[in-house]
Amino acid sequence: VRVVFDGLLYRGAAATREPAVVTVTATGLRIEAGGTAEWWRYEEFRQTQGAHRGEPVRFEREGGGEAPAVVVDDPAILAAIAALGAGPAARRFRPRRSLARVAMAAVAGALAAGAALYLWIIPALAAVVARRVPVAWEEEVGRRTTDLLAPPGSRCDDAEVGAALEAMLARLQRAQPGSPYTYRVAVARHAAINAFAAPGGYVVVFSGLLEQADRPELVAGVLAHELQHVEQRHGTQAILRAIPLQLVIAAVAGDVSGLAGFAEMAGRLGSLRYQRGDEAAADRAALETLRAARIEPRGLVDFFRALEAKAADVPEQLAYLSTHPRTADRIARLESALDSLALTPEPLMSEQRWRALATRCSG
């Protein structure tokens, strides 16, 4: 701490002004001006200026109008007194922050608290609650969300396509021991090369994906990825993050009754998004599921390549949880994971059978 400061000493009725050297000590200030030094004990003077930013610091000796005063431009003298001065008298000179700075600090604090709430606290709570939400509740939310986003009238109800997709999901699920879900798959008539999963095991595949897939393994790769979003409860977490905090707290306490309506509303608003990291986690686990199910895993990479090549975008109201960021590094990451994945795949079906199925929901 710097203890020596330049200042000006004002003295007498005429307030003559002299340059002064002010030294901060434990008991007071030593003020040297015009070749003589005087001591001001902390009990003997008060601060009359310098509480605000940009203002010089002014100390006045007790004793009325003609009492001497010393002015120091550098507000660091207050910090020096705070650091060195002993006793209650010295503490009267604690440096004060300007109102603007106090307000800024308050705003910054509130923003930081809000950011922490949204970045860490709500996601952390959502992850905790999502593990405790009953599967029956997830199924209810998943069914309602799917009906809302891919209404029955917009679906392709082809029994053969449905059976083929369900068989794929069943084979994947068998490779996922302990799964509590019953998977249901619907095909939505839309050109998007995409799919999404709602909580509880509801999977929606767009007809564009079936049409553009040159082999069933590509669809199985996407299904494995969606299955992982369900198993890891990413969609349930997304819903929990989007709803008011008091409902999350109620859910922590075991009351999940308020959640369903909000999930529907959030879905309608298209505000549900997976969290950063969910996609990579689903990709990683999907490859493992494909390996365990003995399904040729390159299909998942080829799906992302197809997305990159033909970016038929998902309609606004279906943006729900179906954004699969198609980035080069995602493909690269999958490619390198594939290199270390050894397996002898068993085909899902013959080429002819797939060709017959792939276009049954088109047009």
Contacts with Zn ion by CB under 5 A lie at 279
Question: Minimum distance between the CB of residue 294 and Zn ion, rounded to whole angstroms?
Answer: 23
Q: Which is nearer to Zn ion, 60 or 279 (CB)?
A: 279
Rounded to the nearest whole angstrom, what is the least distance from the CB of residue 135 to Zn ion in the complex?
20
Indicate the helix (H) or strand (E) that contains 161.
Answer: helix 159-174
Residues near 344 by beta carbon (within 8 Å), at least 6 away in sequence: 294
- Let me know: does 232 contact 285? Beta carbons within 8 Å: yes
**Given phi > 0 = left and psi -120 to 50 = alpha, else beta, which region is 130?**
alpha
**Cβ contacts of 24 within 8 Å, gap of 6 or more:** 3, 4, 5, 77, 80, 81, 84, 85
Residue among 179 and 232 whose Cβ is closer to Zn ion: 232
Q: Which residues on neighbouring strands pair with residue 187, listed in sequence order?
A: 156, 205
Report the C-alpha gap between 140 and 135 in whole angstroms: 9
Smaller CB separation from Zn ion, 156 or 230: 230
DSSP 342: -
- In the complex, minimum distance from the CB of residue 115 to Zn ion, in angstroms, rounded to a whole number: 26
Q: How far is the CB of 321 from Zn ion (least distance, A)?
A: 7
Q: Minimum distance between the CB of residue 189 and Zn ion, rounded to whole angstroms?
A: 21
Three-state DSSP at 67 gives: coil
Instruction: State how far the Cα of 9 lies from the Cα of 50, in Å rounded to an integer.
Output: 16
Residue 133 or 286: which CB sits closer to Zn ion?
286
Using the minimum distance from each CB to Zn ion, give the nearer residue, 85 or 299: 299
Phi-psi region at 65: left, alpha or beta (left = phi > 0; alpha = psi -120 to 50): alpha
Smallest separation (angstroms) from Zn ion to the CB of 300: 11
- Torsion, CA 196, CA 198, CA 203, CA 205, rounded to 10: -30
Q: How far is CA 124 from CA 114, 116, 270, in A?
A: 14, 11, 22
User: Is the CB of 47 or the CB of 323 nearer to Zn ion?
Assistant: 323
Least spacing, CB of residue 197 vs Zn ion, in Å? 8
51 or 281: CB nearest Zn ion: 281
Residue 203, classed as helix, strand or coil, is strand
Q: How far is the CB of 204 from Zn ion (least distance, A)?
A: 12
Nearest to 312 by CA among 138, 145, 190: 190
Residue 279 or 296: the one with the smaller Cβ distance to Zn ion is 279
Q: How far is the CB of 234 from Zn ion (least distance, A)?
A: 8
**Closest CB to Zn ion among 80 and 190?**
190
The beta strand positions in the chain, using DSSP E, are: 4-11, 16-24, 28-33, 36-41, 45-49, 57-61, 69-72, 155-156, 184-188, 195-198, 202-206
Beta bridge partners of 5: 22
